[in-house]
Chains A and B, each alone.
Chain A
Amino acid sequence: MNISGVIFFLAILVGTLAITYSAVKRTTNTNEYYVAGNRLTGTQNGLAIAGDYMSAASFLGISGTIALYGFDGFLYSVGFLVSYLVLLLIVAEPLHNLGKFTLADTIAVRFDHRWLRGTVAFNTIVISIFYMIAQLVGAGAVIHLLLNLDVSFSIFIAGLLMVIYVVFGGMIATSWVQIIKTILLLSTTVIISMIVLSRFHWNVFEMFTHVTTATPLGEQFLIPGNELTSPIETFSFHLALVLGAAGLPHIITRLFTVKDAISIRRSVITATGVVGIFYFMTIFLGFGAAAFVRSEKMEGGNLAVPLLANALGGEFLMAFVSAVAFTTILAVVTGLALSASSAFAHDFYSTLIRKGQASDEEQMVVAKGSAAAVGLVSIFLALTVQKWNVAFLVSLAFAVAASANLPLILLTLFWRQFNPIGAISGIMTGLLSSIILVMLSPNVMDPVSGLIRMEAIFPLKNPGVVTIPLGFLGAYLGTILSRRWQQKDKYDELLFRAHTGAVLEEKNG
């Protein structure tokens, strides 16, 4: 166990718990708990959205992939950034204008349908838990590296912290953990990039020339196709990435934390700026690791950045980088736990079971209880699957978000003929087809290393290219086939509210 690692870990612990403590007093009602009282400014929320989005998979995983495979790794960075355009142009402002706490709220403006709300909430919880498991297992690996603690114990600590932040601090604590994480992650990335660049005499061309001789790939390092050997797989992955980001529950929850559409626009633009700078600098992290770390030590790429920090600044810098990676994971899982618990407490309990009759105190108790429950379930699942390679759960989360949530959002906003049955059928088609195809894919089925030891039935690791069209098709067919039934539809109200941000007062009616 190294001293600087312990110090940084304790600093994070104390800092984040202090934030949570100060948030406790302000988290007095559901509006504070779910959306921080809509008080965040555009810039604050933008930093928090970036904090929700830049996961350890980006910081450690993408940089490591660049270090090992060169250009193909950087292609991930580009995709993660471009996906923000879908959020900015199509999703963010209308959803902000329509929603109160959850995605299901926004859909309910148009379709007041019990089963549909339940389905949307269920889908939110499923995506959040998939994503959370992958992140918690990653957190275990990082704490293990930082403090040399047992992996299971590390997963438990990360999960426990997540539960504490959410249960006691709600959205206020979650937001500030994310804001601080963004600032830490961005400045760390800038510092390491500067050190890397200084080693090449501040000459980018020298860096590009150097990496062609530094890795086992040689000249091939700068050429596409080292990792992404299947074009259709590449396309499928990027399709789910670009369309899925705007459907991720923890990103959508963040849309409700500011007071108006202008602030949400500013949020997404701030986030796009920050995220862009970050993903751009993954080149320096990746190339730096390629130049200064031996590739066989990187353990599939995930240790590339910590080892690079070690090579540049010794154990101290490595401990710092690991601590930042840990904070990164904490911020992401906290956002996920909050969105899953709000789907459960607000959609299932308050709206469906209690039909809006529950008092605010009662709702708070259920919200906190379900946050604890969701957290504990995820910890348990993460502990169960920690030995597996669960990285595919992240791409599964994106695939479900793109195949189930995005068709729902787009068709609700833009298709006049859409109806609740079509919405339910679209969500279920997107969700089930994504899960089933991943179960049949080489992620799970592999004759040598798979959970199921046999030849994969579905060839692609990323099902998006099939499941996204299926999600839209399910929504279309469900709508067409149920057209005869009378279904309540307030499309005009949705259009008005989505595009003006106003609600007509009832007493004037």
Chain B
Amino acid sequence: MSQSEEKKMDTRYTDVVQSSEFKKLLKSKKAFIIPVTIFFFLFYFSLPLMTSYTTVLNQPAFGPVTWAWVFAFAQFIMTWTLCFLYSKRANKFDEKARKILSSLHEERP
């Protein structure tokens, strides 16, 4: 590939990435992924931190099962729930990406 062609390639990618459709796609992805990531980090690390530094989770919750175990089980529910929510949401991202691609094809038949 010659240098001038390479430059052309670059601006084509830049044009798409600068388009409002693409920016919207990135924004909607970030609006989901960043808060969810922060949430699961806090939710997860509060378990080892609470069991290491405090004894509040040592109280019995259900019979012999203490709150530490309940919180640990809740991590499984949390993980599976987030998986489910993400796969729902990701279908919408796919749709946005498909729209961007099909509009590109229309421009250059």
Contacts and interface: CB of A to CB of B under 8 A. Distances in A.
A231 B55 CA distance: 13
A496 interface: yes
B10 A490 contact: yes
A85 B40 contact: yes
Interface residues of B, number: 55
A495 interface: yes
Given A74-B72, A222-B69, A90 B49 contact: no
Nearest to B30: A414
B58 to A, nearest CB: 5
Interface in B68-101: 68-69, 72-73, 75-76, 78-80, 82-83, 86-87, 90, 93-94, 97, 100-101
A500 B82 contact: no
A71 interface: yes
A77 to B, nearest CB: 8
Nearest to B60: A222
Interface in B1-38: 1, 5, 8-10, 12-14, 16-17, 22, 25-26, 29, 33, 36-37
A197 to B, nearest CB: 15
Interface string B39-63: 0110011011101110001100011
A224 B57 contact: yes
Contact of A231 (B37, B49, B75, B80): B49
A117 interface: no
A209 B76 contact: no
A71 B10 contact: no
Nearest to A242: B44
Given A492-B13, A500-B101, A276 B76 contact: yes
A164 B14 CA distance: 46
B79 A269 contact: no
Contacts of A71: 51, 68-69, 72
Given A506-B1, A509-B12, A492 B83 contact: no
A499 B79 contact: no
A280 B90 CA distance: 27
Given A78-B72, A508-B108, A509-B5, A222 B79 contact: no
Contacts of A276: 76, 79-80
Contacts of B97: 499-501
24 contacts: A74-B69, A78-B72, A81-B75, A88-B83, A89-B36, A89-B82, A90-B33, A208-B65, A224-B57, A224-B68, A225-B52, A234-B52, A235-B45, A235-B52, A238-B44, A261-B94, A269-B83, A279-B76, A496-B13, A499-B22, A499-B26, A499-B29, A509-B8, A509-B9
